[in-house]
Amino acid sequence: MRIVFRHLGVSAAFLLVVCLAATPARAADQAREVVGLFVQSCLRYVEDPADLRAWIAATPQLRQIPRAKAEQFLEGKKGDVWSAENDAGLFALIVFGDDSCTAMAQIASADQVSLVFSEYVRRKNLPLDKVGDRKDFVRGIDKREETYRSSSGSILYEVVVMTSKSPRAEVQAVLTTRPNR
């Protein structure tokens, strides 16, 4: 069974395979890594997509996924997909044609992803207000969706943090920026 994040334009057909089992410490590392990838790419460059693409081009750890495989992430939308791998696991970065940007982790502690992201927002005093927090079950798999909206800046945008605690979920963390242009 798949969790499908269609309203984000991202299918959970995240077919990267993690070779090591997720221990609690490893899951926390994965949460920090996916939030870190999201913060240094999608969130940092939410107001400047050209700088985001320049950052991606200058980051050798990111490897572009071939178009045929990228379609599984893009679901017919325009965009590009990169994979990233380190000791914590495998991650994906997706930049859509509308400048929405997503970071994904196949395995990550849902609670840690939420905690790490909310602590980052608080520590950096970012102009993001939490406007939603929904919990749901899709085909027996839990899903939590936290929504934040910017309250200042040159453009307004939304951040959506979607997580699942289920080991059956193909993706346990999806963080997305959606510029309101």
Asked if residue 16 belongs to a domain, the reply is no
Closest CA to 174 of 102, 101, 81, 109: 102
Asked if residue 174 belongs to a domain, the reply is yes
**CA 141 from chain center: how many Å?**
18
Indicate if the pLDDT at residue 112 is higher than 80: yes
Asked if residue 1 belongs to a domain, the reply is no
Q: What is the mean pLDDT of residues 37-56?
A: 96
Asked if residue 5 belongs to a domain, the reply is no
Asked if residue 125 belongs to a domain, the reply is yes
Asked if residue 13 belongs to a domain, the reply is no
Cα R_g (the chain), whole angstroms: 15
Q: How many domains does the chain have?
A: 1
Q: What is the mean pLDDT of residues 11-40?
A: 63
Confidence of residue 11 (pLDDT cuts 50, 70, 90): very low
pTM of the model: 0.84
Asked if residue 176 belongs to a domain, the reply is yes
What is the residue range of 81's domain?
Answer: 23-180
- Tell me the average pLDDT of the chain: 85
- The two tokens of residue 114 are 């939420």
Share of residues in the chain with pLDDT > 70 (%): 84
Indicate if the pLDDT at residue 139 is higher than 90: no
Closest CA to 143 of 122, 129, 120, 160: 160
Asked if residue 114 belongs to a domain, the reply is yes
